[in-house]
Structure 1
């Protein structure tokens, strides 16, 4: 459906409002395609379409919510009635209230490319097959490809409220991803590679295939090193995951719930002077860019940490109001949920040196190319950080032997303060955080 049609549905629902109540209607529609190939054949092909509505009602200081996975006119009225009924069961909260226009103009972003709509199913299959061939032919030690996938999505949504919010948007996205198997003797290692874009012409089969090959083959012969304290270089994909955890601690929701290690630290130095952290969904290069947040307010560039100093937390309307401030345009949600708070396009401001230059300056360290158990191994309240890892030793400024079965440990607080340098290789990934090579000193590497 066209976004204008979705907005018309949202407007209709809002028009059913009664005196003394606020109504918010969020309407969404999307189509997704996924292709997986294996050994030159199609293993699976799926095309899915989804649509639905979420309705929030606030009356007498109470909030009710209901959603439905259809846009049938009769169901819309039933969903509104259910949301109204649910207000009876909600606890009163003086801070409940819908977002109101705040005068911030929405950015002009081009996130929709019609070239994706005309790209045939056969061409999508061909891309996945081409990727599988690229991985298989990339190195004689590649003995298999677990999967080679193509996927895409076309989405549109709209929000209308009785407080005057009217917003709609649409976007396209697509990706390639491959998981490889490399073997030497009795040893097998895995690797992955991917490429993302707004339309198929943005995708780079060669780059995705090369990454999948190199990440697997360079780990062959990996051993468990002795325990010691080292300087680590986080691969961009690992940094993106690390930043996702940091971003979660910088939400107003986490602060209000007592789940942030940075509560009460606004204005304090919390990272090295070279660390500047920004959440900027107005950047069209970000895979998760958007012109409006989950409440229909214009997105904006939020400076979270500047030169190591904590500048702000992210808020939706509720957490901003409860904290004595306002929304930062950081509400996140789908039509089936009420608004939460979250980073939308988080990144470190890049430095001046390439990954090779960063490594050249390290006498004893580890390039961490992958981690496991990251979320279970990190406590966002205490900051304790301990996760399984694998990668390559760095000796006298050069990459050396591969290592595995190691644990890297520190605290989030200490790691931010021990950042030595941020690389120049900013990489936007299919997640809400961008990647970049990150050098962190004095990390405990536990091994044999």
Structure 2
């Protein structure tokens, strides 16, 4: 049976049972994962996920249900679970089914050419990454991870208010992590690429970057504890931004879980900082024309020249604040309820070249990565204390590698203390979710605990 016809039957029977407005969300997702170890395929898996979620207003409350069996036999179960779910909800928050936006921007998030790349070619790319890394330098002890991943997602959203939306996207990533050794000194480093354009996947380039990074960390030592000017290299600044991305959610603000309550139109960062959420970005991991509730997505400046301009809203949070949804309702799976999340959120690039940022510091640090991001940050207070590694800067030049240090500060204060923004915007994946990015950032001062 046609899925749209099935939804119409579901809506008709739901109405008979007293459910008012209703929505059906149909999602098909296909994933490919290739992992290589010592020249052999260590993992090769293809998974298909297909399901339907059903939402409806019953006695003024929103009920949820879902199924992996998309046929008429599931209809009675879906309706019963929506009603049962709605009966036990005790929240007074108003939720509703959306009638549709006036206009939807067409987003081309599906690259047909990726389909034309055979799985054999993708396996060869993955093997080539490992091979290039192992022969790049005699200090390469092993390749810990060598992975190619790919995902295709197809979503259909239908409701009883006449809304009918459909979108398809695909994305792929390559990831390599190497271990290098010199004497008793062992270091690891990784690099990744993410795109739905396979021509951007260069196995040799990716492998050599990872090896170069690892070798540059050999001989790393701790440094004296002090306050230092710090450059957060793009991967590190993106990962820290991701850890604090929830503070811009209107839901978190309304629940008192963000310090940004009442800060709209207030200056919360340096003038040179502009934070953008762009679901229309070409090639973006989270590019989309509509959000999880069917609201048209829109590009927006969350922070403009240091001033907070908006929170991220779904329909429920927008209703509470008396504003319109920003199109940031998030439904990662047909099994999930609706929450709030950014879509291709990033700090806008500046004009500073990385080498010039380094050259401007007499004595300071480059932080290239953090550990324990989800345990060492407090998203309510903004405080963080994180193990980190990177490089020492002396007299405007990188001198030695640094590890066994802890970087401490407050995210809200750090945003005010950004004094230079690089021109090297990067989105990271894996290790991140791929839809939050940042250029390198020069911070006037952060507390470093070392030896």
Question: Under a length normalisation based on structure 2, what TM-score does the superposition of the two structures give?
Answer: 0.94
Question: Is 1:174 the equivalent of 2:172?
Answer: yes
Shift of 1:202: 2.9
Deviates more, 1:354-363 or 1:327-336: 354-363
Question: SS of 2:63's equivalent?
Answer: strand
1:183-232 per-position Cα deviation (integer Å, ceiling 9, x unaligned)? 00011100101111114223222332122112211111011111011111
SS of equivalent residue, structure 1 residue 146:
strand
CA-based RMSD of the aligned residues comes to 1.7
SS of residue in 1 equivalent to 2:69:
coil
Match of 1:330 among 328, 334, 339: 328
Over residues 106-145 of structure 1, what are the superposed CA-to-partner deviations in whole Å (9 max), with x where a residue is unaligned? Answer: 2222111222223222222111101111211222211110
Is 1:13 paired with 2:10?
A: yes
Residues 1:442 and 2:440 aligned together: no
Which residue pairs with 1:52 in the alignment?
Answer: 51
Specify the alignment match of 2:290 in structure 1.
Answer: 292
1:254 maps to 252
The answer as to whether partners of 1:6 and 1:157 remain within 8 angstroms in 2 is no
- Displacement of 1:435: 2.8
Alignment-derived partner of residue 380 in structure 2: 381
Query: Which deviations, in whole Å up to 9, do the C-alpha atoms of 1:20-77 show, x marking residues without a partner?
Result: 6111111100111111111111111111111111111112221211112232331244
CA gap of 1:6–1:178, structure 2 versus 1, over 3 A, is: farther
Quote the Cα distance in structure 1 between the aligned partners of 2:255 and 2:435.
22
Q: CA, structure 1 residues 147+331, in 2 after alignment: closer, same or farther (shift >3 Å)?
A: same
Match of 1:30?
29
Matches within 5 A, 1:56-205: 56-91=55-90, 93=92, 95-103=94-102, 105-205=103-203
Find the counterpart in structure 1 of residue 220 from structure 2: 222
Q: Deviations over 1:146-186 (max 9, x none)?
A: 12111111110111122333211101111111110000001
> How many residues end up aligned between the 2 structures?
444
- Partner Cα distance (2:32, 2:2) in 1: 23
Deviations 1:402-437 (A, max 9, x none): 111111111111100000111001123342201311
- Partner residue of 1:357? 356
Distance 1:429 1:303, change over 3 A: same
Are the counterparts in 2 of residues 370 and 391 from structure 1 also a CA contact under 8 Å?
yes
Instruction: Quote the residue 2:436 is aligned against.
Output: 433
Task: Find the residue that maps to 2:21 and give its secondary structure.
Answer: strand
Q: C-alpha separation between the residues in 2 aligned to 1:328 and 1:365? A: 40
Q: CA deviation at 1:359?
A: 1.0
Q: Judge conservation of contact 2:238–2:426 (CA < 8 Å) in 1.
A: no
Do the aligned partners of 1:231 and 1:439 also contact (CA within 8 Å) in 2? yes
Instruction: Provide the rounded CA distance (Å) in 1 between the counterparts of 2:412 and 2:444.
Output: 13
Partners of 2:19 and 2:123 lie apart in 1 by 54
Q: Is the 8 A contact 2:34 2:44 kept in 1?
A: yes
SS in 2 for 1:434: strand
Q: Structure 2 unaligned segments of length 5 or more: list them.
A: none
Question: Cα 1:418–1:293, aligned 2, differ >3 Å: closer, same or farther?
Answer: same
Tell me, what secondary structure is at the counterpart of 1:126? Answer: helix
Higher alpha-carbon deviation: 83-92 or 361-370? 83-92
CA contact (8 A) 1:6 1:158 kept: no
User: Residue 383 of structure 1 contacts residue 412 of structure 1 at CA under 8 Å; is this kept in 2?
Assistant: yes
Q: TM-score, normalised by structure 1?
A: 0.95
Q: Which residue of 2 aligns with 1:42?
A: 41
Could you tell me whether the CA contact under 8 Å between 2:65 and 2:81 is conserved in 1? yes
Query: For the structure 1 residues 236 and 207, does the alpha-carbon distance in structure 2 shift closer, same or farther, using more than 3 Å as the test?
Result: farther
8 Å CA contact retained: 1:61, 1:94: no
Alpha-carbon offset, residue 252 of structure 1? 0.6
Deviation larger for 411-420 or 425-434 = 425-434
- Unaligned 5+ runs, structure 1: none
Say which of 217, 232, 236 aligns to 2:234.
Answer: 236
